[in-house]
Amino acid sequence: MIAALVLKRLGLGLLTLLVVSLLIFFAVELLPGDLAQAVLGQAATEETVAAMREQLGLDRPAPARYLDWLGGVLTGDLGTSLLSGERVSTAISQRLLNTLFLASYAAIIAVPFAVILGVFVALYRNSIFDRVANVATLVSISSPEFFLGYVLILFLSVKTGAFPAIATLRGDMSLIDLLYRTFLPALTLVLVVTAHMMRMTRAAIINLLASPYIEMARLKGMPPWKVIVKHALPNAWAPIINVIALNLAYLVTGVVLVEVVFVYPGIGQLLVDAVAKRDFPVVQACCLIFAATFILLNLAADIGSILTNPRLRHPK
């Protein structure tokens, strides 16, 4: 039963990714202007533009070019950058590693902090601590990433000089130096995703506190913290895992603004540069990677919910 449900989710994920690839390709196709003309500049002659269109395959029908692009993606060939002439996979690989490092850095801080904070605000609900935490998380959720980033730069870089405002990376940097230089962008992401995870943890635990087995544990004289940690939290994992997976997907796919603010050399910054310079093969590859990551982590959330919830494992 579980294997069938997992395979069904995987099949739906692959179908979704196929539809997304269609949207990405034809969205780029619908952009105004002639790609060959944009690459060569306004001074290019008609003959040069025609030769460039033939070189790029723009003289062929869009469906045929989509099938060629999709076939290349399936074999690991993401195309060639129009600006640098290097393989797109080569141009993206190091940038993707940088983005995954930043997302992992933020996740290692945000996930345990959000879950522990959610447990505490559920334990002390309706107290001053609960109200302050809820106001703080509402402010964090309501603030755009770039705004939080600039606020952190103002107070932690410009005014105090504690951390660098620009996340400059070098190949010879030690791990400590790397963590130090990327702390501000990681903290920005932590502030954004912690609020969602904390509020979901709080809501899931409070929703279970009225259950009969929780009341029985209380009547036996069990301490409140033990009731939550030992009885409520294990049964609240399904929605918590779901929201954690969604926020992990955001950490990878939503870093574009954060990377631009801190000039972080990740795939988000590469995407912005490629859009500005109309390097469409790089744009398509970056968008596809973001979509695949989001779909994969959503699948992980679904599978995690199935494995942690008996009602989903044995539907009636």
For 87-106, what is each residue's pLDDT tens digit?
888 888 888 899 999 999 99
pLDDT for the residue numbered 106: 92
pLDDT for the residue numbered 314: 59
Phi, psi of 180 (to 5 degrees): -65, -45
Which residue has better confidence, 313 or 60? 60
pTM: 0.82
User: 185-189, 217-221, 310-314: which has the highest mean pLDDT?
Assistant: 185-189
Q: Is it the case that residue 308 has pLDDT exceeding 60? A: yes
Which residue has better confidence, 137 or 4? 137
pLDDT for the residue numbered 10: 81
pLDDT for the residue numbered 153: 92
CA distances from 270 to 93, 107, 159, 276 (A): 11, 22, 30, 10
pLDDT for the residue numbered 205: 81
Average pLDDT score over residue span 31-41 = 67
With cut-offs at 50, 70 and 90, classify the pLDDT of residue 312. Answer: low
Average pLDDT score over residue span 169-184 = 86
Cβ atoms within 10 Å of 200's Cβ, excluding its own:
22
CATH 1.10.3720.10 domain locations along the chain:
94-313
Cα separation, 262 vs 153, in Å, equals 9
- Counting every residue written for the chain, the total comes to 316
Asked if 184 and 152 count as a contact pair (C-beta separation under 8 A), the reply is yes
Cα separation, 25 vs 27, in Å, equals 6
Range of weakest confidence among 9-13, 26-30, 161-165, 290-294: 26-30
Arithmetic mean of pLDDT over the chain: 82
Q: What pLDDT digit, counting tens, does each position of 220-273 carry?
A: 778 877 777 777 777 777 778 878 888 888 888 778 889 889 989 889 888 888
Q: Is it the case that residue 107 has pLDDT exceeding 70? A: yes
Q: Is it the case that residue 303 has pLDDT exceeding 80? A: no
CA distances from 221 to 127, 148, 214 (A): 22, 44, 11
Cα separation, 40 vs 9, in Å, equals 45
Q: What is the 3-state secondary structure (H, E, C) of the chain?
A: CHHHHHHHHHHHHHHHHHHHHHHHHHHHHCCCCCHHHHHHCCCCCHHHHHHHHHHHCCCCCHHHHHHHHHHHHHCCCCCECCCCCCEHHHHHHHHHHHHHHHHHHHHHHHHHHHHHHHHHHHHCCCCHHHHHHHHHHHHHHHCCHHHHHHHHHHHHHHCCCCCCCCCCCCCCCCHHHHHHHCHHHHHHHHHHHHHHHHHHHHHHHHHHCCCHHHHHHHHCCCCHHHHHHHHHHHHCHHHHHHHHHHHHHHHHHCCHHHHHHCCCCCHHHHHHHHHHCCCHHHHHHHHHHHHHHHHHHHHHHHHHHHHHCHHHHCCC
Nearest to 230 by CA among 131, 96, 123: 123
Average pLDDT score over residue span 114-120 = 88
Cα separation, 193 vs 115, in Å, equals 12
Asked if 98 and 262 count as a contact pair (C-beta separation under 8 A), the reply is no
For the chain, the C-alpha Rg in angstroms (whole number) is 24
Q: Is it the case that residue 131 has pLDDT exceeding 60? A: yes
Q: Is it the case that residue 108 has pLDDT exceeding 90? A: yes
Cα separation, 108 vs 190, in Å, equals 9
Q: What are residue 80's DSSP bridge partners? A: 87
pLDDT for the residue numbered 315: 55
Cα separation, 210 vs 13, in Å, equals 36
Domain 94-313 is found in CATH 2.40.30.10? no
Range of weakest confidence among 49-53, 129-133, 183-187, 305-309: 305-309
Asked if 107 and 252 count as a contact pair (C-beta separation under 8 A), the reply is no
